[in-house]
Amino acid sequence: MNTLKYLADTLRPCCRINARAIFSILSNVHSKYALIAVVVTAALIVPTPAFAATSVRGSDGQKLMASVTRVKSGQEIQVSGQGFDETVGVYLAYCLLPKKGQAPSPCGGGVNKEGIGDASYWISSNAPSYATGLAIAFTPGGRFSEKIRITKKIGPHDCSKVRCAITVRSDHLHEGDRTHDLFIPITIKK
């Protein structure tokens, strides 16, 4: 049963407690059934790409998460956030990764006058009256969840050759405020 102990010890920390308990139980079972149980348990514990989200945290505790970061051009990914300041609107977009201290630009999706899109969103719980139907309100807890379509190109820029990312930045009502900037780099699969 040393193999079972090794498997339990090499798992990610979040899985160790449950895996050790499972492997402890399995060590008391006949070896033939234990092997079958180990295979089934390992299949359930090992994360699949759909659950292997990437996330970044901002200085105020806000969190930006993407379902995947290695994608094919045209693929939609789920992007969500939590803990954002609901008094400050943000843009969620797929953009070129900016130099430190600069706003992300250019971004995919362009101007989103219809309030719908698949590469950029305006998220604000206190948007001005002209933004009716354009901005999406945060849900309680400074949360949002949107699908973003990833493309190989943003304008003339090829994201397989330059760095592109899922980005969050302050909206135009807080222009120049870089404190809300968050980036999750995206890799385009060939």
- Find the CATH number of the domain harbouring 110: 2.60.40.230
Query: Containing domain of residue 39, as a range?
Result: 2-46
Q: Say whether both 42 and 56 belong to one domain.
A: no
Q: Say whether both 111 and 158 belong to one domain.
A: yes
Q: Say whether both 36 and 61 belong to one domain.
A: no
Q: Say whether both 99 and 40 belong to one domain.
A: no
* Count of structural domains within the chain: 2
pTM score, whole prediction: 0.69
The stretch 148-159 carries a mean pLDDT of 93
Whole-number average pLDDT of the chain: 77
The stretch 130-146 carries a mean pLDDT of 92
Model pLDDT, residue 53: 53
CB atoms within 10 A of CB 78: 14
Q: Which residue has the higher pLDDT, 112 or 155?
A: 155
Q: Which of 105, 60, 54 is nearest to 79 (CA)?
A: 54
Q: Say whether both 30 and 72 belong to one domain.
A: no
Residue 164 to residue 183: CA distance in whole angstroms:
9
Long-range contacts of 22-27 (CB under 8 A, 24+ apart): 26/1, 27/1
pLDDT 10s digits, 27-55: 554 545 544 444 334 443 444 344 445 99
Q: Say whether both 61 and 40 belong to one domain.
A: no
